[in-house]
Structure 1
Amino acid sequence: MKFLSPLAVLAAVGLLAGAAFAAEPAPALSGCAVKRQDISTQIEHAKAAGNSDQQAGLEKALSEVTANCTDATLLKEQEQKVFEAKREVSRRQADLNKAMSKGDPEKIDKRKDKLAESRKELQDAQTELEKVQPDQDDE
């Protein structure tokens, strides 16, 4: 009986460990994998909505991403978008400063709205960049 007891404990521990490993979340997707997953999700939504034209377009986009996307080019493209968005925010800030120096309340309000829009686009671009960047924790 003493022999079976440690064997039973070992088997139980083995089963629990296997279940624990199976319960671990899958690693987060990044780069082109995220892009493919997003398009696949959109394809499923198009199928559910019965939108065959949209589905066909998305399937073409998915095949192009699968064939041509590399994480390095995707990262470079997104970094360029962030750079351009920062430049746009700077330009809008200069426009606002100019309007404020002239004191025209209508132009000031318009420039503030444009600046807020540009800042939102910058934030969106930075969020997308975070999605495609490789994890920095591993380095």
Structure 2
Amino acid sequence: MNVNLMTKNTALALALIALPAASALANSGLTGCAAKKAEIQQQIDYAKAHDNSYRVAGLEKALAETSAHCTDASLRADREADVRKKEQKVAEREQELNEAKATGRTDKIEKKQEKLEDAKEELAEAKAELNK
């Protein structure tokens, strides 16, 4: 398996597990890689409690990779890159909305407005991740 693909799969797994764990760890005071490892460990404990051996195996791999490769500086750089990417997406969605407004078609305008709002929400979430 391609290393880049493994990294993307690991990132996807982490993103999926981070959602429920984020609120529980919000008050823990951990930041950066320590918080990331704690989130993964919490998900491992949950998966073990529910006898989900496949998920445990994947999470343990993610934890090992995080322990081996995560630095607070690299994590911050990744998160900053994600914010820049989301900012670009918002700009693109704003341009698409302006183009739809020029056509005057309300159905397209509504659709583009929804996409813009979604992009803004993703940007806000990415910015919130910067401080974790």
TM-score by length of 1: 0.74
Rounded Cα–Cα distance in structure 1 between residues aligned with 2:44 and 2:33: 16
Unmatched 5+ stretches in structure 2: 1-26
- Over the aligned positions, Cα root-mean-square deviation in angstroms equals 1.3
The 3-state SS of whatever aligns with 1:130 is: coil
Rounded Cα–Cα distance in structure 1 between residues aligned with 2:103 and 2:36: 46
The corresponding residue for 2:45 is 44
The corresponding residue for 1:64 is 65
Give the Å deviation of 1:27.
Answer: 7.3
Give the Å deviation of 1:107.
Answer: 0.5
Higher relative contact order (CA 8 A, sep 6+): 1
The corresponding residue for 1:90 is 91
The corresponding residue for 2:110 is 109
The corresponding residue for 2:127 is 126
Tell me the amino acid that sits aligned with residue 81 of structure 2. Q
Give the Å deviation of 1:103.
Answer: 0.5
Give the Å deviation of 1:130.
Answer: 1.4
Instruction: Kindly report structure 1 stretches of 4+ aligned residues shifted beyond 2 Å.
Output: none
Structure of higher CA gyration radius: 1
- Between the two proteins, what is the percent identity of the paired residues? 43
Count of matched residue positions in the alignment of Structure 1 and Structure 2: 106
Tell me the amino acid that sits aligned with residue 34 of structure 2. A
Rounded Cα–Cα distance in structure 2 between residues aligned with 1:33 and 1:51: 24
> Which string of whole-angstrom CA distances, capped at 9 and with x for unpartnered residues, describes residues 29-85 of structure 1?
111001001100111111111100001100000011001100000000000000000
The 3-state SS of whatever aligns with 1:66 is: helix
The 3-state SS of whatever aligns with 2:64 is: helix
